[in-house]
């Protein structure tokens, strides 16, 4: 199960049915929060609970070092994975990894992306071109 937290006032909204080609929409809960503080608090509690395998948080405000560290510790306690979606330059130094994802041109595949691991506390950085396979519902590295 996954929980996706965002601020209630944002125009762009993820709908579970829009995710059905990627996962079972019944396994995704959408949490609307009043502000960034509530997004962080909700994400922290969900990560710490250990009940949810993936917690996604969309932030409009920069992620502070303290908030990032709290999320990291909560994820370690709960054994969950946390993914914070922030604009470039708004992340925290406490993060384990930082990624940049952009479209990659492919004449026959509109789903191809370039995933760049630009920060990695436990290894080296790298770049992969990947594509989504709708039938298998997973991502493949493009050779």
Query: What's this model's pTM, rounded to 2 decimal places?
Result: 0.75
The CA–CA distances, whole Å, from 14 to 11, 17, 64, 83, 87 equal: 10, 9, 25, 15, 17
Predicted pLDDT of residue 86: 83
pLDDT tops 90 at residue 129: yes
| 1-46 pLDDT, tens digit each | 899 999 988 777 777 777 777 778 788 888 999 999 999 999 999 9
What is the rounded distance in angstroms from the CA atom of residue 140 to the CA atom of residue 137? Answer: 10
Domains identified in the chain and CATH numbers: 1-87 (3.40.50.300), 96-143 (no CATH)
Question: What's the Rg (C-alpha) of the chain?
Answer: 16
Nearest to 20 by CA among 112, 137, 140: 137
pLDDT tops 90 at residue 48: yes
* Residues of the chain above pLDDT 90, percent: 43
Buried b (16+ CB within 10 A) or exposed e, 21-52: eeeeeeebeebebeebeebbebbbebbbeeeb
* Residues of the chain above pLDDT 70, percent: 97
Predicted pLDDT of residue 46: 97
| 86-99 pLDDT, tens digit each | 877 776 676 788 88
pLDDT tops 90 at residue 127: yes
């Amino acid at each position: 199960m996954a929980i996706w937290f965002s601020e209630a006032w944002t125009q762009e909204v993820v709908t579970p049915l829009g995710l059905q080609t990627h996962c079972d929409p019944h396994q995704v809960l959408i949490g609307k929060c009043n502000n960034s503080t509530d997004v962080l608090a909700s994400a922290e509690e969900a990560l710490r609970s250990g009940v949810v395998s993936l917690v996604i948080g969309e932030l409009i405000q920069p992620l502070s070092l303290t908030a990032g560290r709290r999320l990291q510790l909560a994820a370690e306690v709960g054994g969950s994975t946390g993914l914070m979606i922030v604009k470039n330059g708004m992340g925290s130094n406490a993060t384990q990894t930082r990624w940049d994802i952009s479209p990659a041109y492919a004449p026959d595949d509109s789903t191809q992306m370039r995933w760049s691991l630009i920060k990695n506390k436990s290894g080296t950085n790298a770049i992969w071109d990947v594509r989504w396979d709708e039938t298998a519902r997973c991502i493949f590295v493009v050779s």
